[in-house]
Amino acid sequence: MVPRYSRPEMTAIWSPETRYKIWFEIEALAAEAMGNLGTIPADAARTIREKGDARTADITATDVDRIDEIEHETRHDVIAFLTWLGEGIGPEARFMHQGMTSSDVLDTCLNVQLTRAADLLLRDLDAVLDALRRRAEEHALTPTIGRSHGIHAEPTTFGIKLAGHWAEFARCRTRLQAARAEVATCAISGPVGSFASVDPRVEAFVAERLGLRPEPVSTQVIPRDRHAAFFCTLAVVASAIERLATEVRHLQRSEVREAEEYFHPGQKGSSAMPHKRNPVLSENLTGLARIVRGYATPALENVALWHERDISHSSVERVIGPDATITLDFALMRTAGMMDKLTVYPERMKANLESLGGVVHSQKVLLALTQAGMSREDSYRAVQRAAMATWTALGTPNGRTFRDELLADPEVSAKLDAAALDTAMDPAKDFRHVGNTLARVFATGGL
Amino acid sequence: MVPRYSRPEMTAIWSPETRYKIWFEIEALAAEAMGNLGTIPADAARTIREKGDARTADITATDVDRIDEIEHETRHDVIAFLTWLGEGIGPEARFMHQGMTSSDVLDTCLNVQLTRAADLLLRDLDAVLDALRRRAEEHALTPTIGRSHGIHAEPTTFGIKLAGHWAEFARCRTRLQAARAEVATCAISGPVGSFASVDPRVEAFVAERLGLRPEPVSTQVIPRDRHAAFFCTLAVVASAIERLATEVRHLQRSEVREAEEYFHPGQKGSSAMPHKRNPVLSENLTGLARIVRGYATPALENVALWHERDISHSSVERVIGPDATITLDFALMRTAGMMDKLTVYPERMKANLESLGGVVHSQKVLLALTQAGMSREDSYRAVQRAAMATWTALGTPNGRTFRDELLADPEVSAKLDAAALDTAMDPAKDFRHVGNTLARVFATGGL
Amino acid sequence: MVPRYSRPEMTAIWSPETRYKIWFEIEALAAEAMGNLGTIPADAARTIREKGDARTADITATDVDRIDEIEHETRHDVIAFLTWLGEGIGPEARFMHQGMTSSDVLDTCLNVQLTRAADLLLRDLDAVLDALRRRAEEHALTPTIGRSHGIHAEPTTFGIKLAGHWAEFARCRTRLQAARAEVATCAISGPVGSFASVDPRVEAFVAERLGLRPEPVSTQVIPRDRHAAFFCTLAVVASAIERLATEVRHLQRSEVREAEEYFHPGQKGSSAMPHKRNPVLSENLTGLARIVRGYATPALENVALWHERDISHSSVERVIGPDATITLDFALMRTAGMMDKLTVYPERMKANLESLGGVVHSQKVLLALTQAGMSREDSYRAVQRAAMATWTALGTPNGRTFRDELLADPEVSAKLDAAALDTAMDPAKDFRHVGNTLARVFATGGL
Amino acid sequence: MVPRYSRPEMTAIWSPETRYKIWFEIEALAAEAMGNLGTIPADAARTIREKGDARTADITATDVDRIDEIEHETRHDVIAFLTWLGEGIGPEARFMHQGMTSSDVLDTCLNVQLTRAADLLLRDLDAVLDALRRRAEEHALTPTIGRSHGIHAEPTTFGIKLAGHWAEFARCRTRLQAARAEVATCAISGPVGSFASVDPRVEAFVAERLGLRPEPVSTQVIPRDRHAAFFCTLAVVASAIERLATEVRHLQRSEVREAEEYFHPGQKGSSAMPHKRNPVLSENLTGLARIVRGYATPALENVALWHERDISHSSVERVIGPDATITLDFALMRTAGMMDKLTVYPERMKANLESLGGVVHSQKVLLALTQAGMSREDSYRAVQRAAMATWTALGTPNGRTFRDELLADPEVSAKLDAAALDTAMDPAKDFRHVGNTLARVFATGGL
């Protein structure tokens, strides 16, 4: 967790104080359920709740240190917490944690944290989606060249570009909701998950109060395939960020200059070269995406625990739980901000689009020639010949536009005269379906 | 793709012959749609279908070589195929592929292959689920020791163990269905996905006939976040296999011997040591899981293509498309077979369960002491003291059972007499919720 | 292993025929050593060598099938091979494999294959290095703009660019030699590596004949940290390829056009757009790099085998042994070819370099101002102001060059007159160290 | 960076204070070199050194906050630092950083940090090696069963087991030294690495003083293949830890109980089950290994930067630089401590070794039969038959030892009488090469 890539709300989810509050909440709810069932005295449950609330309500760094100190002796984090908590509760403390095992507390707590984190990430995704949709609609009909392999292909609009990214993030939102559901379970099933000393109704009660589902069958731990699926989903979201960041980086290249990250007054691009304005946000996002993706592998390796549980997953989750969600939260909000303020240069888009002498209309000519009866192979050769001639002479004194090259080619002009050629190459064709496509993508949620 | 880890049905999905047949199907359906719309002559569409069917119906290795030869010249796979196909169709061939780009064919084909592969994998998962459920029900009440950290914890049943794996594979099935839906899209949108020269109704027609949905907005290529999510899901399934394989490997250890992979007549375990019977299936599955997991990372790196497309994803998919699905198909069926024929030794399970002098009942004594008024800390210390004494002297002449140690401890016996202790330690408690748990897991589908 | 990304020499290393020949060689050498030591009759060793040579010299697909058939029964690959081999050797066959275990044969064979593969890869790297050095020297003084963050920074030469890649591949060569040494070991130590039934001198003999070192202590298997280090090294080489491929992809962008992959006569760039010439080799290399990198993770997961060995590594290695080396071999030779034939456009490099009105000389002005007594902060602001003015007005009628902006700025002109400014901005400065740098990199081997 | 997995000395390397001190050192050394060369006034260089030393010597959290504040405005970390530093130096500050770019400072600093981290890790490895060697020599002749596939194979000694791990860590040490050399370079080459405004002798001077080598050719940044190789090496070290941790976890299993992690007085194994003593250190190490391994992938993805540099690597390194080295430092020292204090149970090893009725001597009988003239296949079948009979009846009243089964088998006894059988099965054979092997491994350093 690197402070510069952390936002406070997400960071707070992973603080020791939050964790201990959730632990207490689980213990108090379990005690309440046991009190209701008569497993422990109902009075004891009330005492646990009241005195425990008092002890944990404003838990401080000093308390955290004290718990650490007890853990240093017992070498067991949950026992250390229960001991500290018991000091504040008194004799009734012995009725806490009855029939439970530490995994009940730890795993349920982790899932509470992950679902809270997911809720923040969903909100972040909404911010990204909002920015993308607004800019997509703003530039619905801003012409720009579409590029395949980095080479000018055919015209499209900047709005369509952004709509593609919107759709990808919309799918990510759907995936993240599914991933949230994966980890929204609660286990209070005792050692080896057998419920030998704890009633399953306790689990049902705690789950319901925490907004979780009971884990259908736990092996003491909540199975880690759930968490693997969760972190893989974060990795996919990170990759969506990287695709958008890569687009911005390309558009801001000196030779392209079609869009630019907002450059703050007072900002300095380089310690050496005062002329620099660099796409540092999108490059930063590219790196953050690598980080978040990197956490998928250890999450997958965490699945194959031994028998009913081993604790090898724990150190991994202490790292990737906070780091993956905090980093992704930061990255998503940076993405939203970047897209919100992105400076777009439609004039430059137009200039680039027109910079290759019209060869980007080659397909339309190819089709017109085949419709006019030429074979696909012959048409292809003729159009390729003209396009290459235009391309090669770009910027030279004797260069000719693609249209002129075609008209000068007897094989082509035998099939298409100037008027037919102009009809074929009509740029209006390129944008006729833009409105439908935008409508479709927003209607389907990108699915 | 390693022959020994391949099954023919899955392998066939990825053969050149299958690919070319799907390519033709896409072209023929597109032509049919264009014929209906009047974009091309309806007769031409019929000719394409009829002559194309004839040419591709029994496509041979010789044809594949011929296409490769054309590709060697054109350096473009789809053009090579269309050229070969056109040789069989004649002049109407020029009406094929009108307004389309090769990505339309390639990406739609890939998704057809992936959905077919997913269908096979879903069937495989059913086989795994069937085997697991049958064995879980067979051993619903077969007592065995539950282990956390590899250390005997408390009793459970072998059926509960298997039910946990069943639930995990059931979740994998649900995830795989979602992953299948992710990649069940079709794009026929032409260069840069603009529909400039192809009517969106063509896409809708082809999609419907192929059982796919139209891609809401494609950037020429079908966005690779879909495929990343797909391969990540396979990685999660592989990890579920690894967890089960790890369990079997542990159970077959010489010191444990609670279960054993079926050993064929004539089988030899070792070239050197004739006494060996090794868990080679589960070890093999462990390795196969690593392979399938390894494909998630390149799939994630495939997402951030440049602009409207680059072709860097293609080589990755030529490898991981077949290899991940073929390997996982094999691994799942091996898993099903292994579990189906697993030899289970209930007597040995019982012997292990009872091998530690009864210390595995320590929690129940702890609870009884706290219920009898002792503080949690004092109870813990007393029970730990007795358990460690029993454990340390295991197998020595002066060893005492856990029960005897407890009764000899004045602090304990002051709270619990022999009868109370026996009530506390009653093994029947351990299994009272087994039936409910099994019912719950099968009812919820593990979700 | 995908045929289109495979070259025959590397593929042959991994054929069943090659594997069986290496297996026999190991057995024959071991028998020879045992014959020398008197462990087995010397005559038997000679018979094994002679009859075994005859049986394996021209081993055919039919033989391979026969061995597979025996394996189907014994479920053990080495026993199957020994049985088939014994059929040709007769009674003396019982003296083969004395005191050995199958790992001795399998692991030593794998290392023979990996060192052979490494030798090919080293040769491939030499081809890449040759091409890069030749082009670097050819373009030692071809000016081009250096870019940081995709933004024009300061001038450099194309030769310096290529020298940086040369250095990276030279380091990769050094790493690969180290990785080859890692896996150049031989183990003939019998079950659990104890030499209980095989003399260590047998191992020494076989190792020496195969050009390997004896494994200092094997646990029956050759430890897999060696192989993990090997495959991680391949991943680093793959990443070096990706960096060079990314450079070429950038240079070929339509807006940049400074270099271009060779475009074959007859080549077609797109099925739809005849004007396309795409950087398909470098994009393909980008994908191949992802594939090779993806194999590092399973190789790392293979290290932690259980106790003296488990066989989970085997399936992984059956895939990544061939696939990683075959793919990398293909990728390296494609890289060499691409760089060898790369079309370079110095005129276009010059045009790009000069396209931003001279702002790329901003640092030199900044330094001159600080040398003239202005503070770093004031100098920076003044130069940034002028550079932004030039940049913003690029291509507009009232745009001014950077030089004109600076001269018009009273704060700047108070410190630097036109002559001083021209001295400061002298482009000759940019290239004065090129020769030294090139000499240095080739002298140090990039280390 | 998780506090509980961090040790102060390594953590300090990565603190902002340390980073700023290194940045200043680089600037001061560069100024000194420029002063010597006359590029800047020698007096200015002295002032920079003296006033800068004073300003950075006891840099506080308040200073760090102030630098952060400046960065918030300039959005550039190095400029922020230089501005803060300049406030303390006065007008001569303008002579700092002349002709340099921020990468010169950042990349050289990172390499200083990584080499310091590597030095600590090498020391940690020495601690691991010391513990392993001491325990290996202590248990050089402690018999234990060797296991392949988790199944008893043949006897070995616990010392040999540990020697194998020693050899692996010794190789890791050699690899880490090579990895340290990879990143021990310095670049002071200015924008795009051209030395246009900074003399290469400055770089040579700074490198020499910092104990680094000049980077042969930098592209403004130090090439990231070096760092990829570094982090891959850490991943291999982590995997070596995992293999050893896995061994300990296995040995401590309840059914095995051959070794046990030290259990502290006051330690509690489980919140629920007072009888538990769990291998929590080795399980924790298993998880830490996953974390460190996970950083290799982003490090590899960092290699392919765009053109002369992009800054996408930076965020990755801010995370994995500290986290990988801090985690590995902690894990190595935990490994050393765990092995140092590991409780070993030779009696239990002996009991396990003898628990299978002698079948673990099957190979020796197989060899004796083949030496006595029986074919390998017949010998194998006879020995397998006897071994399976013994195994199957283990623990049953009518079970017979392997020796008795063999003597009762007419096919066997026709070749080997009781005396010959006892000679064949002599356990002394198993350990005759232990001394040589230990000597060899320590002599070769495991290479």
Residue pair D162/C217 in contact by the 8 Å Cβ criterion: no
Q: Which two tokens stand for residue D419?
A: 């005396």
* Residue D268 covered by a domain: no
The span from the CA of C327 to the CA of B179, in Å, is 28
**Which residue is it, tokens 């899209």?**
B185
For residue A211, the one-letter residue type is G
How far apart (Å, rounded) are the C-alpha atoms in residues B39 and B200? 12
pLDDT of B2 higher than 90: no
How far, in Å, CA of C72 to CA of C94, rounded? 22
| Per-residue confidence (pLDDT) for residue D383, from 0 to 100 | 94
C1 pLDDT more than 80: no
- Whether chain B has a CB inside 8 Å of the CB on D194: the answer is no
Tell me which H or E stretch contains B154.
strand B151-157
Q: Is the model's pLDDT at C269 over the cut of 90?
A: no
pLDDT score for C401 = 94
Closest partner residue to A153 among C147, C273, C351, by Cβ?
Answer: C273
D174 touches chain C (CB under 8 A): no
How high is the pLDDT of residue A86? 94
Residues 210-249 of D with CB under 8 A from C: 213-214, 216-220, 223, 225-226, 228-229, 232-233, 235-236, 239-240, 242-243, 245-247
Chain D touching partners, 3 or more CB pairs below 8 A? A, B, C
The distance of A379 to chain C (nearest Cα, Å) reads: 9
* Count of domains for chain B: 3
Same domain for C213 and C288, yes or no, is yes
Residue C419: give its domain's CATH number. Answer: 1.10.40.30
Classify burial at A11, counting beta carbons within 10 Å of its beta carbon; exposed 0-12, middle 13-18, buried 19 or more: middle
Q: Which class for B385: exposed (0-12), middle (13-18), buried (19 or more C-beta within 10 A)?
A: middle
Which tens digits make up the pLDDT trace of C183-204?
999 999 999 999 999 999 999 9
pLDDT reading at B87 higher than 90: yes
Does the beta-carbon distance from C152 to A254 stay under 8 Å? yes
- Does C47 score more than 90 pLDDT? yes
Question: How far apart, in whole angstroms, are the C-alpha atoms of residue A204 and residue A28?
Answer: 14
- Given this model, what pLDDT does residue B388 score? 92
Mean pLDDT, all residues of chain D: 95
Please name the helix (run of DSSP H) or strand (run of DSSP E) that holds residue B284, with its range, or none: helix B280-294
SS3 B185: strand
Q: Which residues of D touch A269 (CB under 8 A)?
A: 76
Confidence of residue B271 (pLDDT cuts 50, 70, 90): confident
| pLDDT grade for C328, boundaries at 50, 70 and 90 | very high
**Residue B213 parent element (H or E):** strand B213-214
Average pLDDT over residues D156-178: 98
Question: Inter-chain contact D370–C94, Cβ cutoff 8 Å?
Answer: yes
- The answer to whether B266 contacts C295, with C-beta atoms less than 8 Å apart, is no
* Residues 6+ positions from C89 with CB-CB distance below 8 Å: C47, C48, C51, C52, C55, C96
Which residue type does D425 have?
Answer: M
User: In this complex, which of A150, A359, A363 lies closest to C249 when CB atoms are compared?
Assistant: A150
- Residue A156 pairs in a beta bridge with A144
Domain boundary among A350, A366, A387: A350
In this prediction, residue C270 carries a pLDDT of 85
CB contact under 8 A, A310 and B150: yes
Using a CB-CB cut-off of 8 Å, the residues of chain A touching C383 are 274-275
State whether D165 and D202 are in the same domain: yes
Contact C239 D303 (CB under 8 A): yes
B376 touching D, CB under 8 A?
A: no
- Helix/strand/coil for B28: helix
Q: Is the pLDDT of residue B1 over 80?
A: no
Answer yes or no: do C49 and C151 share one domain: no
**Is B55 in the same domain as B201?**
no
The predicted structure's pLDDT at residue A246: 98
Cα A251 from Cα B69, distance rounded (Å): 39
Say what the pLDDT of residue C271 is.
82
C96 interface with D at CB cutoff 8 Å? yes
D391 and B275 within 8 Å at the Cβ level: the answer is yes
Answer for the pair C387, D107: CB distance below 8 angstroms, yes or no. no
Distances (CA, A) of A268 to A240, A303, C371, D80, D84: 28, 46, 21, 10, 15
pLDDT for residue C14 = 97
Q: How confident is the model at residue A267 (pLDDT cuts 50, 70, 90)?
A: confident
Could you tell me if A273 and A126 lie in one domain? yes
Annotated catalytic residue within D149, D264, D275, D307? D149
CA distance D427 to chain C (A): 9
Same structural domain, B198 and B273: yes
Dihedral sign computed on CA atoms, order D159, D163, D164, D169: positive
Residue C21: Cβ-neighbour burial (10 angstroms; 0-12, 13-18, 19+) = middle
Cβ of C362 within 8 Å of Cβ of A388? The answer is: no
Residues 38-67 of C with CB under 8 A from A: none
What is the distance in angstroms between the Cα of B397 and the nearest Cα belonging to chain A?
Answer: 31
Between the alpha carbon of residue D323 and those of residues C307, D206, D293, the distances in Å are: 30, 28, 11
> Which A positions 123-152 lie with beta carbon below 8 A of chain B?
146-150
What does the pLDDT read at residue B36?
97
Query: pLDDT value at position D85?
Result: 96
The residue among C315, C325, C330 with the most chain B CBs within 10 A of its CB, best to mutate, is: C315
Query: Which of A2, A273, A291 is opposite residue D298, by nearest beta carbon?
Result: A291
- The predicted structure's pLDDT at residue A61: 92
The answer to whether residue D1 scores a pLDDT higher than 80 is no
Query: Does a structural domain hold residue D269?
Result: no
Mean pLDDT of chain B: 95
Tell me what pLDDT residue D346 has: 97
Residue C249's pLDDT band, with cuts at 50, 70 and 90, is very high
- Tell me the pLDDT tens digit for each residue of A161-197: 999 999 999 999 999 999 999 999 999 999 999 999 9
Looking at chain A, how many residues does it have?
447
The pLDDT of B388-394, averaged and rounded, is 90
Are residues A57 and A111 both part of a single domain? no
Q: Which of B156, B168, B436 comes nearest A225 by C-beta?
A: B168
Looking at residue A9, which CATH number applies to its domain?
Answer: 1.10.275.10
Is some CB atom of chain B closer than 8 A to the CB atom of C73?
A: yes
Query: Would an 8 Å CB–CB cutoff place D37 in contact with chain C?
Result: no
Beta carbons of D201 and D37 less than 8 angstroms apart: yes
D30 within a domain of the structure (yes/no): yes
Q: What is the mean pLDDT of chain C?
A: 95
Partner-chain residue, chosen from C79, C287, C301, that has the shortest CB–CB distance to B271: C79
| End position of a domain, from candidates A59, A79, A98 | A98
C159 Cβ under 8 Å from any chain D Cβ: no
pLDDT digits (tens, 9 = 90+) for A378-407: 999 999 999 999 998 888 888 899 999 999
- Cβ–Cβ contact A35 with B under 8 A: no
Reported as a single tens digit per residue, the pLDDT across A108-117 is 999 999 999 9
| Whole-number average pLDDT of chain A | 95
Active site residues of C: 149, 270
- CA geometry: angle C283, A150, C361, nearest 5 deg: 110
- With an 8 Å Cβ cutoff, is C255 touching chain A? yes
User: Taking residues A335-357, what's their average pLDDT?
Assistant: 96
Find chain B residues with C-beta within 8 A of C327's C-beta. Answer: 319
pLDDT digits (tens, 9 = 90+) for C61-99: 999 999 999 999 888 999 999 999 999 999 999 999 999
- Contacting chains of B (3 CB pairs or more, <8 Å) are A, C, D
CATH of the domain at A327: 1.20.200.10
pLDDT band for B112, please (50, 70, 90 cuts).
very high
The answer, for B272 touching chain A at a CB cutoff of 8 Å, is: no
Contact D268 B297 (CB under 8 A): no
- Cβ atoms of D24 and D56 within 8 Å: the answer is yes
pLDDT (tens digit per residue) in D122-138: 999 999 999 999 999 99
Contact flag D236-C432 (C-beta cutoff 8 Å): no
Please tell me which of the candidates A255, A275, A380 has its beta carbon nearest to residue C255: A255
> HSE of D347 in the Cβ direction (CA atoms, 13 Å)?
5
Known catalytic residue at D270: yes
pLDDT band at A272 (very low <50, low <70, confident <90, very high): confident
Same domain, B108 and B249: yes
Residues 6+ apart with CB under 8 A from C404: none
Cβ neighbours of B380 in D, within 8 Å: 268, 274
Check whether residue D58 and residue D3 sit in a common domain: yes
Question: Does the beta-carbon distance from C272 to A366 stay under 8 Å?
Answer: yes
- Nearest Cα to Cα of residue A377 among C11, D151, B83: B83
- Write out pLDDT tens, residues A71-84: 998 889 999 999 99
* Residue that is written with structure tokens 């069986």 in the block: C20
B294 and B368, same domain (yes or no): no
A324 and A401 within one domain: no
Dihedral sign from CA coordinates of D262, D266, D271, D274: positive
β-sheet bridge partners, residue A328: none
Asked if B402 is an interface residue toward chain D (Cβ–Cβ < 8 A), one would say yes
- D437 CB near a chain C CB, below 8 Å? yes
**Residues D147 and D3 both lie in one domain:** no
Q: Give the pLDDT of residue A74.
A: 87
Mean pLDDT to the nearest integer, B185-199: 96
Mean pLDDT of D249-254: 98
Q: How far is A297 from chain C (nearest CA, A)?
A: 8
**Alpha carbons within 13 A on the beta-carbon side of B151:** 27
What are A1-15's pLDDT values in tens digits? 788 999 999 999 999
Nearest C-alpha neighbor of B179 from the set B128, B114, B242 = B114
Q: Rounded to an integer, what is the distance from CA D77 to the centroid of its chain?
A: 32
**Residue D418 confidence (pLDDT):** 95
CA–CA separation, B217 and C242 (whole Å): 29
Domain extent for A18: 1-98
Indicate the burial class of D251 (C-beta count within 10 angstroms; 0-12, 13-18, 19 or more). Answer: buried
Could A290 and D316 be called an inter-chain contact, meaning their C-beta atoms sit closer than 8 Å? Answer: yes
Residue range B11-48, pLDDT digits in tens:
999 999 999 999 999 999 999 999 999 999 999 999 99
pLDDT bin (cut points 50, 70, 90) of residue A157 is very high
Which of A350, A379, A400 terminates a domain? The answer is: A350
